[in-house]
Structure 1
Amino acid sequence: MLVKHMANPKRVWFRISAGSQLGMGHLVRCSHMAQALNEHDIETAFLIDQCLPQYQAWLGNSHVQSLYPEDNYQSQRIDAEHCCKYIGRHDWVIVDDYRLDVEWETSVAKTAQRVIAIDDLANRIHYCDVLLDYRNSKMLDRYEAILPKHCRKLLGPQFCLLGAEYRNTINRRPSTHDRFVIMVSLGGGGDFTLLHPIITKLLELPPQDFEIRVIAGAMSVNTQYLDALQLQHDHLSVIRNSNSLCNHYQCAHLFIGAAGTALYELNACELPALTFAISNNQNTVTIELEELGHYLHIPFHELQNIDGIKQLVKTAKSHYKRFIALCKTTTIKIDGLGAKRVASALLEQPLLNKKKSHHKSTCLVREYFFETLQPGITVAKVQDTDINHYLDARNLPENRDRMTVRQHISRIEHYNWWFNNDRHCYVLRKNGAAMLYIWHQLKIEKGQQYLIGGWFIANNDCGLELSALALEWQLQHCRKHHPDAIWLAIINKENKYVNLLNSMHGFTMVSQNSLEHEAIEKFFPMASSERFNYLACAPLRSTAG
């Protein structure tokens, strides 16, 4: 609760920043907040460095005051002095500007009745009555040391500031048997030079099967080449001056673009996405992205892998049921009512209830397998929701050093492999925490069935006893389902423990002229006999006989 009840303000001022470098995110989300306050008959106004014509579509009937029509922002002190010329003592101020912190807020608080700060970085001290951050509410403690004691915190995605059109979204996307629609966007700003190689590469996709729709934001720069490309390619369309992307999301199959507000809009529209960060405030940890249903996120430098991005688009079309299920597998569901909730909270009215969230188990599309090995220890088939954790574990230095491919695997490379491989992968968990991943694959060579496999740790607390338990389970499981298959294995010669463990389960060295040796060289072309021992284990039928 707030410290004391305050009468509704005469006017609410929004101090925001926007532009080609900053994008339009702060302006757009504050315009949604202004609209929600207008519904309560609260007058709203904006304080902006310079009011450009591109802003007008989002400002509605709000009054706008340009602070620097002929010069530029200089300091927090000077900016506060400019703002206080317009702010009345019965007015509230909502500040959404990374340049401004406790210095500006303390000065403005001497004039305004209340100061509300919007933040999503938690990297500066605030002096405000209310703090709004609609990123993951699990990160509550990050504000404890930088807010005054009287400040009320509105934290979590239920307060996400989206437009009213996201309250009741409808799936209008056509069947994937028709054209597969790819939506490309950098948000309200951004330099489209960044996307030129990607868009050009995507245009190589068959026009009868794919359509590319590029959203050029109001403050986007270097978009001239898009018009020339549009004249050359019938399956490319450039969309400009769109105040809302909601309808475009609902008619697309896949989004490729910058993170930010789009993460929440995509969640509301249940649209699969490949996202990346182009600014510091878009750097979001993997767990936060996954809770919103965004499992395909790449670091900025991987945008150079244009062939990999093109392949992932083709993969999305081929495995679209899995892509859709993955984006629906969320613990957070955005319902488009966040701005109304914030308005109600500020005006000390009852908050709207949240819609019930999805649970991950409702969206699984892969075969499900689960078995308890010991109390608290289970093995289960990996699901698509494990896609990032699997890669993070595989890329651990202690795992890579013992593999045939020792280099770091990129996310784009991994995502393409993940949806197209035919391995059987499992995860062993102890008390719910992933300890190791183990896999096997059936191969047939010259009429003989072979099994190949491997495992790697996913947790530094994974002891030797768990790896032994996992291997024992795997051998029993595979002998039950593939009794005629010969197990083949390659083990790093320096890995004394694993060599000993496999020998205890019947693995022996293969002779150089054997069929098993020939099969190993084919299945593991990068495993040299100088670094690895070549091993085989006879099938169950032959050992039993």
Structure 2
Amino acid sequence: MRVLIRADASVIIGSGHIARCLTLANTLRNDGADVRFACRELPGHLLLRLADQGYVTYALPARYGAEEDQDIEAALPWQADLSALAEEIEDEPQFDWVIVDHYGLDARWEKAARGLADRVMAIDDLANRPHSVEVLLDQNYSAQALDQPYAAWVGPECQAFLGPRFALLRDEFQCEAIAIKSRVERVLVNFGGFDAAGQVYATMLALQGFDDVQVDFVAGLHNPHWQAMSELAASRPEWRLHTLSADFFALMQAADLFIGAGGGTTWERAALGLPTICISVANNQQLNAQLLAEAGVHLYLGPHVQLEAGRLRDAIEQLCGDAVLRRSFAEQSRLLVDGRGARRIADALAAPANPGSPDTVTTEQGA
């Protein structure tokens, strides 16, 4: 099977789209598939990292127009994007699948992409635009909790996989839950691969009074507050500041409390039963984070732009001393995720075409 993945990473977009696509790509490659990536050369792109992991990559232009908006949800000039992609792969045979994980592309791009592949899959979180695909994945809890969020956006040929049961997690997250201690001893802080919102530094300031807690801060690439954080961490022997971590899973396993955003690590935390204080750093994280809080999965403090430092300190103090609440968060989290989502999606892509009824949308939801 030949698969082409179209996704981007940048300081503004973040690394989450590439991270989840890479997890699926690794599962497909382990099954014998030839998987390739096409990404724009935006500031903070991850093309070299993908190539280092053995993937063929196609570099697309960072911009298709002088005034193009670089916002995470901004619409791309879809014809220009597809034209650039077609030029890059013009000598390649037809792909079996194109997988697109991009908020700036919709059904127009997907229909035209059928000139490159037999079938098309979309990964989405927003449910705000039409898709023309055979398979759609939305791994968010909001996709499971809301009533048919994609009913108006996909056609009858689409098989939709909705909810955290299909979350794209590495195999290591098929694991035992962490132990919930009587009091928090280690905290892990991370707000994505870039932390453009500067929330790691804000959390570092809030943690200054917790002298009996070991803290790992994973700041991400190109962090805007790196110098200030380095100076603070140098005076605190119980703090460790990392750009990235070669073994983030081990840091998560060792932690008793996680402070972070509402992105892809949400499902990694859930698989481990790692109690979390969640702060959304992008608009597309807010609904999912709020619904998870209402379901008793984590403590959600709202968008970072509205958060007062005192409220974060109070939340840390509350969770550090409340083992009952942390245990409840862990139990509710573990009910959502079993770590086999990538396997389920890989199996769906390997299945024969048109497995469902021709006049109904097949929707599978986590439960």
Q: TM-score scaled by structure 2?
A: 0.83
Greater displacement, 109-118 / 133-142: 133-142
2:175 paired residue number: 168
One-letter amino acid matched to 1:325: S
Q: Aligned to 1:234, which of 234, 237, 250?
A: 237
Rounded to whole Å, the distance in 2 between the matches of 1:106 and 1:181 is 49
Contact 2:17 2:101 in 1 (8 A): yes
Rounded to whole Å, the distance in 2 between the matches of 1:169 and 1:126 is 37
Contact 1:191 1:222 in 2 (8 A): no
Contact 1:22 1:189 in 2 (8 A): no
For residues 175-223 of structure 1, what are the alpha-carbon distances to aligned partners after superposition, in whole Å with 9 as ceiling and x for unaligned? Answer: 556x7212111111222534434312311222xx112211112354432
Rounded to whole Å, the distance in 1 between the matches of 2:171 and 2:49 is 15
1:181 paired residue number: 186
Contact 2:190 2:261 in 1 (8 A): yes
1:108 paired residue number: 113
One-letter amino acid matched to 2:351: E
Distance change (3 Å), C-alpha of 1:116 and 1:239: same
Q: Aligned to 2:20, which of 14, 18, 29?
A: 29
Contact 2:14 2:192 in 1 (8 A): yes
Rounded to whole Å, the distance in 1 between the matches of 2:349 and 2:126 is 22
Count the aligned residue pairs: 340
Pairing 1:261-280 to 2, within 5 Å after superposition = 261-280=264-283
Tell me the percent identity: 26
Distance change (3 Å), C-alpha of 1:58 and 1:67: closer
For residues 244-283 of structure 1, what are the alpha-carbon distances to aligned partners after superposition, in whole Å with 9 as ceiling and x for unaligned? Answer: 5322111111111111112111111111111021112211
Distance change (3 Å), C-alpha of 1:156 and 1:196: closer
One-letter amino acid matched to 1:252: A
> SS state of the match for residue 334, structure 1?
coil
Pairing 1:246-265 to 2, within 5 Å after superposition = 246-265=249-268
Distance change (3 Å), C-alpha of 1:243 and 1:45: farther
Contact 2:10 2:45 in 1 (8 A): no
Contact 1:45 1:63 in 2 (8 A): yes
One-letter amino acid matched to 1:22: I
Pairing 1:110-149 to 2, within 5 Å after superposition = 110-136=115-141, 137-139=144-146, 141-149=148-156
Contact 1:292 1:330 in 2 (8 A): no
Contact 1:290 1:330 in 2 (8 A): no
Shift of 1:82: 1.4
For residues 400-424 of structure 1, what are the alpha-carbon distances to aligned partners after superposition, in whole Å with 9 as ceiling and x for unaligned? Answer: xxxxxxxxxxxxxxxxxxxxxxxxx
Pairing 1:119-518 to 2, within 5 Å after superposition = 119-136=124-141, 137-139=144-146, 141-169=148-176, 171=178, 175-176=181-182, 180-191=185-196, 193-206=198-211, 209-218=212-221, 220-242=223-245, 245-285=248-288, 288-290=291-293, 293-300=296-303, 304-330=307-333, 332-348=335-351
Shift of 1:54: 4.9
Rounded to whole Å, the distance in 2 between the matches of 1:201 and 1:287 is 22
Contact 2:278 2:298 in 1 (8 A): no
2:31 paired residue number: 40
Distance change (3 Å), C-alpha of 1:248 and 1:58: farther
2:99 paired residue number: 94
1:64 paired residue number: 57
1:506 paired residue number: none
Report which structure shows greater RCO (CA 8 Å, sep ≥6). Answer: 2
Shift of 1:90: 3.7
1:486 paired residue number: none
Contact 1:169 1:250 in 2 (8 A): no
Note the residue ranges of structure 2 that are not aligned, 5 or more in a row: 69-75, 356-363
Rounded to whole Å, the distance in 1 between the matches of 2:169 and 2:208 is 32
Rounded to whole Å, the distance in 1 between the matches of 2:288 and 2:62 is 38
For residues 140-167 of structure 1, what are the alpha-carbon distances to aligned partners after superposition, in whole Å with 9 as ceiling and x for unaligned? Answer: 5221121122122122221100111111
One-letter amino acid matched to 2:257: L
Shift of 1:292: 6.6
One-letter amino acid matched to 2:204: I
Rounded to whole Å, the distance in 2 between the matches of 1:301 and 1:62 is 35
Q: CA RMSD in A?
A: 2.8
For residues 123-149 of structure 1, what are the alpha-carbon distances to aligned partners after superposition, in whole Å with 9 as ceiling and x for unaligned? Answer: 011111111111232435221121122
Greater displacement, 334-343 / 88-97: 88-97
Distance change (3 Å), C-alpha of 1:58 and 1:275: farther
Note the residue ranges of structure 1 that are not aligned, 5 or more in a row: 1-8, 358-545
For residues 436-463 of structure 1, what are the alpha-carbon distances to aligned partners after superposition, in whole Å with 9 as ceiling and x for unaligned? Answer: xxxxxxxxxxxxxxxxxxxxxxxxxxxx
Rounded to whole Å, the distance in 1 between the matches of 2:83 and 2:171 is 35
Shift of 1:328: 1.2
One-letter amino acid matched to 1:153: A
2:84 paired residue number: 82
Contact 2:258 2:275 in 1 (8 A): yes
Contact 1:28 1:58 in 2 (8 A): no
Contact 1:14 1:46 in 2 (8 A): yes
Asked which structure has the greater CA Rg, the reply is 1
Rounded to whole Å, the distance in 2 between the matches of 1:269 and 1:339 is 17
Rounded to whole Å, the distance in 1 between the matches of 2:305 and 2:136 is 35
Shift of 1:56: 3.9
> SS state of the match for residue 299, structure 1?
strand
One-letter amino acid matched to 1:198: T
Contact 1:54 1:218 in 2 (8 A): no
Contact 2:200 2:219 in 1 (8 A): no
One-letter amino acid matched to 1:201: A
